[in-house]
Amino acid sequence: MNAIAFPKPDPGIMARREAIIAGLSAILPPECLVTSEDERRAFETDAFTAYRRLPLAVALPRTTEEVSAVMAYCHREGVPVVPRGAGTSLAGGAIPQEDAVVIGVSKMNRILAVDFADRTAHVQAGVTNLAITNAVSTEGFFYAPDPSSQLACTIAGNIAMNSGGAHCLKYGVTTNNILGVTMVLVDGTVVEIGGEAMDAPGYDLLGLVCGSEGQLGIITEAHVRILRAAEGARPVLFGFPTSVEAGEAVAAIIAAGIVPVAMEFMDKPAIEICEAFAHAGYPMDVEALLIIEVEGSDEEMDAALARIIAIAKAHGVKTIKESKSAMETAAIWKGRKSAFGATGRVADYICMDGTIPTGQLPLVLRRIDEIVKSYGLRVANVFHAGDGNLHPLILYNCNDPVEARKAEDAGNDILKLCVEVGGCLTGEHGVGIEKRDLMRHQFNEIDLNQQMRVRAAFDNEWILNPAKVFPLDGRPQAGTAR
């Protein structure tokens, strides 16, 4: 696929490569610097693998001070910087460019302090999402946002993309679970944003930084909220004859005053793919599956489920299957969280991430089917039903350039549809390069210009992750902000 453009590498920077590496070598020890072509290959893309660019060099600093020194150096030299967590972005947020230095936070992976009494953890930004939960689970706590890539993805990347997950219906997304960050600005200045208290003073810079896709600074440490886990959690599978009935059941559950901790939807193709992979016991004779999870004591879960089951029955549910053991619960979630990986076993795919008002669900599902069929392709749908965050997986063969282009076009059509019905291009994966050129479908020039002026307040020269989020044409000249 070559539809998404990258800026032309700056020949002046390319010509200075040796000098730039020498400059970085003066800051970082050899084990923190990746320069050979072979080793740089590991950093040329992320989970949006259709695009790749070999970076100039990769810096893997161990401390905030080292990040600051590298940033200051790159800023002085006018060298673009592409921040990187674990490289799990589905939107190409961490894909480098040839004239850029990648700054990866993977060596900063320590949990610095855990305070159970005040329910916070202080972590370095390269720590993985799941490592935080693992560090506090002995005391019954967890870190709430749970993107499917949580085993690998870093807190730095989670903050950059404002990651969500299956359980954010109840617990919110990253921006709702972070108290403060240490961030290195483009010129190497280190700032503390927010802190350890619940509210932060001044402008909500933390809210601005969450989801800013590495354009405002590099996060090196974070104070995150940890929560005490419920006494128990139980997912239940509800199979419906049609997607429409499943969608109506979701609306009815919310209308009844029940907010389950998770409500996940899969259509028949997704059920088949995930079941073949995880053997989770998903019903195979239904068109739509809801995984609804409730929490609390056994009695509380029984009571909540009784209410939900009554609603599901009123909406034509065909099969109901409760998890009876921790092992079954794990299998149910393994199936859902491996949806992308399991799909990758049967075909290449691109994963969409639009959000729609949930009331538009039946219409949008029908239209997605029509769109994908019109390109002669197949689609599997998994999504967060409670919040309308869709993940259609468009299946194609990446060795067939015509089909690849069709898949990309179908994806773009689906995202435009999401915006048309009142939703947005991306619910939790970010814009990256993938949706960059669609931004004008959601925002007009005035909106985009305002966002770019705010961006320039942090990075007037457009050095930080410069090829992302905003369409390449129509940008202000670097360095012209007032």
Partner 1 sequence: MNAEYTLSPASEAEAAEAVRGAISAMTPIRITGGGTRTGIGRPVQSALTISTAALRGITLYEPAEMVIGARAGTPLAEVQAALAEKGQMLPFEPADYRTIFGSSGEPTIGAIASGNISGARRLWAGAARDSLIGVRFVNGEGEIIKSGGRVMKNVTGLDLVKLQAGAWGTLGLLTEVIFKVSPRPETVATLALDGLNDARAIAALGRAIASPFEITGAAHVPQPGKTYLRIEGFADSVHYRAGELGKLLADFGTLKRLDASEDVWPGIRDAAPVALPRERALWRLSVKPGLAADMVAAIRAVRDGDALYDWGGGLIWFATDASGDAGASVIRAAARQAKGYATLVRAPDSVRAAVPVFEPEAAPVAALTQRIKAAIDPSGLFNPGRMFAGV
Find the binding residues for partner 1 in span 336-375 (CB under 8 A).
355-359
Query: Judged by CB under 8 A, does residue 220 bind partner 1?
Result: no
**Selected binder of partner 1 within 156, 193, 266, 288 (CB under 8 A):** 193
Query: Judged by CB under 8 A, does residue 477 bind partner 1?
Result: no
**Selected binder of partner 1 within 39, 196, 370, 400 (CB under 8 A):** 196
Residues 89-128 that bind partner 1 (CB under 8 A): 115-120
**Selected binder of partner 1 within 39, 192, 370, 400 (CB under 8 A):** 192
**Selected binder of partner 1 within 21, 135, 208, 320 (CB under 8 A):** 208
**Selected binder of partner 1 within 210, 280, 291, 364 (CB under 8 A):** 210
Query: Judged by CB under 8 A, does residue 453 bind partner 1?
Result: yes
Residues 378-407 that bind partner 1 (CB under 8 A): 384, 387-389
In the complex, least distance from residue 460 CB atom to partner 1, rounded to whole angstroms: 9
Q: Residue 43: how many CA atoms within 13 Å on its side-chain side?
A: 29
In the complex, least distance from residue 402 CB atom to partner 1, rounded to whole angstroms: 29
**Selected binder of partner 1 within 205, 276, 320, 363 (CB under 8 A):** 205
Which candidate, 462, 453, 450, 455, places its Cα nearest to that of 482? 453
Query: Judged by CB under 8 A, does residue 437 bind partner 1?
Result: no
Residues 272-311 that bind partner 1 (CB under 8 A): 296-297, 299-300, 303-304, 307
In the complex, least distance from residue 38 CB atom to partner 1, rounded to whole angstroms: 34
Query: Which of 20, 212 has the CB closer to partner 1?
Result: 212
Query: Judged by CB under 8 A, does residue 430 bind partner 1?
Result: yes
In the complex, least distance from residue 477 CB atom to partner 1, rounded to whole angstroms: 16
**Selected binder of partner 1 within 314, 420, 457, 474 (CB under 8 A):** 457
Residues 227-266 that bind partner 1 (CB under 8 A): 228-231, 251-252, 254-255, 257-259
Query: Judged by CB under 8 A, does residue 455 bind partner 1?
Result: yes
**Site map for partner 1, 155-184, x if CB under 8 A?**
------xx-x---x---xx-xx--------
Query: Judged by CB under 8 A, does residue 198 bind partner 1?
Result: yes
